[in-house]
């Protein structure tokens, strides 16, 4: 099944101490596949990877006399993530271990403290990842920030790849509705702007009692391939199955901002930047709506709507702005007046300058859209255009998007699928 039972169940709860600490699990007897020095694995592939700044985790380690490392779940640009057993509370947790000294570590810690301090509403709050706590462990060149979470399964990007490169609408729309509820909670209750809404930062949770047991047993019987470099081991991350009860949860707050704004400064991934980011205009939570629209496009179409990536973030500003003009038309004059940088790209009448017009940026939304046809395609493009507006105030809120005609057509699609099953 694609996503077995689509939604809606709360994320896994906290168990009590249950007596004394569990003993650490002995290391697996099975021998893993070893890669040679000519192979770059996972975090080693990052151009900025420096082994002295990344904590040398080993499967079987017990961190802080409490968290036994069992499986590598993944890695990011500045951290690795591990499935651990909390030997005191007798439960599985996820441990995110940051590179030494990275600003995202301190920022995410602040945001998570804020989210954890809020009264849990049992609805939107369960759709936003919070932590059990944080601590530091010593490293070669400085301490590493460690964040403790409930473990989560795969990302929506993983799910898209598993589904052959595109997510069908009958699976995608229910997921998006849940993400929007979590985003509404972030914006209206928590007053947090995520700034990095994309498919890699939305993960599926599970309450299946034996889900993590099975993954650990798989690691113990068939250890992950790895590479040994001196006293350091680089592991391949274990593939995690799709949970039957998977519910999307918004994660990764390393770039998030707390408050109502407006904020200033560079945020958002290069290919996801809203026009106010390119033009250095103060921004607010509506950049998350822009990012949400682009994420939906990626998941449905299996390709980026913006795909011009030049050597540097600054160098690609012109190409990115030219693509926005191609998709949305010329910006409103009152919007350009908010920016001191608009003269780089537009004349006094708000028309693109020759350099911008000369850039080849691809086709229109209608030309690029390939996944849908007929009325559903028209509704989808109308939905997308609502999220991709020049002026932030013209974009809907997350709560308003929940009533979008394209997203609300899920029930009819489910009826069609049900009829098909009965006749098959």
Using pLDDT thresholds of 50, 70 and 90, give the confidence band for residue 418: very low
- DSSP letters along 139-188, please? -SSS-EEEEEE-----BHHHHHHHTTSS--HHHHHHHHHHHHHHHHHIII
Residue 2: per-residue pLDDT? 34
Q: Which domains, and CATH codes, for the chain?
A: 42-165+202-250 (3.30.200.20), 260-416 (1.10.510.10)
For 208-235, what is the HEC assignment?
CCCHHHHHHHHHHHCCCCEEEECCEEEE
Model pLDDT for residues 133-163, shown as the tens digit of each residue:
999 999 999 999 999 999 999 999 999 999 9
| pLDDT beyond 60 at 423 | no
| pLDDT beyond 90 at 59 | yes
Backbone φ and ψ for 227, nearest 5 degrees, come out as -135, 130
Using pLDDT thresholds of 50, 70 and 90, give the confidence band for residue 1: very low
State the pairing for strand pair 79-86/257-258.
unpaired
Which alpha helices (DSSP H) does 337-409 contain, by range? 354-357, 365-368, 374-387, 398-401, 405-408
| pLDDT beyond 80 at 424 | no
| pLDDT beyond 90 at 18 | no
Rounded Cα gap, residues 223 and 217, in angstroms:
9
| pTM strictly above 0.85 | yes
Residue 417: per-residue pLDDT? 44
Model pLDDT for residues 124-140, shown as the tens digit of each residue:
889 999 999 999 999 99
Residue 103: per-residue pLDDT? 92
Catalytic residues: 196
8 Å CB contact between 35 and 226: yes
Using pLDDT thresholds of 50, 70 and 90, give the confidence band for residue 410: low
> How would you classify residue 64: left for phi > 0, otherwise alpha for psi between -120 and 50, otherwise beta?
left
Give percent of the chain above pLDDT 70: 92
Model pLDDT for residues 175-195, shown as the tens digit of each residue:
999 999 999 999 999 999 999
8 Å CB contact between 71 and 224: yes
Interhelix angle 169-185/410-423, rounded to 10 degrees, is 150
Residue 19: per-residue pLDDT? 57
Residue 413: per-residue pLDDT? 47
Residue 85: per-residue pLDDT? 97
């Amino acid at each position: 099944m694609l996503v077995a039972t689509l939604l809606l169940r709360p994320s896994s709860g906290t168990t009590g101490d249950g007596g004394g600490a569990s003993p650490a699990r002995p290391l697996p007897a099975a021998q893993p596949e070893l890669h040679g020095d000519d192979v770059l694995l996972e975090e080693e592939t990052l151009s900025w990877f420096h082994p002295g700044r990344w904590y040398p985790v080993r499967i079987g380690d017990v961190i802080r006399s409490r968290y036994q490392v069992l499986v590598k779940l993944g890695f990011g640009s500045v951290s690795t993530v591990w499935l651990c057993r909390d030997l005191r509370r007798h439960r599985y947790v996820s441990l995110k271990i940051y590179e030494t000294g990275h600003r995202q570590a301190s920022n995410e810690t602040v945001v998570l403290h804020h989210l954890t301090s809020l009264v849990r509403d049992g609805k939107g709050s369960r759709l936003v990842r919070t932590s059990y706590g944080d601590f530091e462990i010593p490293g070669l060149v400085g301490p590493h920030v460690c964040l403790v979470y409930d473990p989560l399964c795969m990302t929506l990007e993983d799910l898209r790849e598993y589904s052959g490169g595109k997510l069908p609408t009958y699976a995608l729309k229910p997921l998006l509705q849940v993400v929007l509820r979590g985003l509404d909670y972030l914006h209206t209750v928590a007053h947090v702007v995520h700034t990095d809404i994309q498919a890699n930062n939305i993960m599926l949770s599970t309450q299946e009692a034996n889900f993590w047991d099975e993954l650990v047993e798989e690691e113990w019987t068939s250890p992950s391939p790895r590479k040994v470099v001196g006293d350091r081991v680089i592991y391949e991350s274990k593939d995690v199955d799709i949970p039957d009860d998977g519910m999307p949860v918004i994660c990764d707050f390393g770039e998030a901002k707390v408050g109502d704004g407006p904020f200033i400064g560079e945020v958002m991934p290069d290919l996801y930047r809203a026009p106010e980011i390119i033009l250095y205009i103060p921004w607010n939570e509506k950049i998350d709506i822009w990012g949400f629209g682009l994420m939906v496009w990626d998941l449905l179409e299996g390709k980026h709507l913006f795909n011009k990536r030049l050597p540097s973030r600054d160098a690609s500003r012109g190409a990115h702005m030219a693509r926005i003009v191609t998709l949305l038309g010329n910006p409103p004059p009152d919007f350009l007046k908010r920016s001191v940088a608009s003269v780089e790209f537009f004349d006094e009448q708000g028309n693109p300058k020759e350099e911008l017009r000369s850039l080849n940026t691809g086709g229109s939304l209608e030309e690029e859209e390939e996944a849908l046809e007929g009325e559903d395609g028209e509704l989808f493009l109308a939905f997308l255009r609502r999220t991709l507006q020049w002026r932030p105030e013209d974009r809907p809120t997350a709560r308003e998007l929940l009533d979008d005609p394209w997203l609300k057509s899920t029930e009819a699609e489910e009826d069609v699928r049900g009829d098909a099953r009965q006749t098959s």
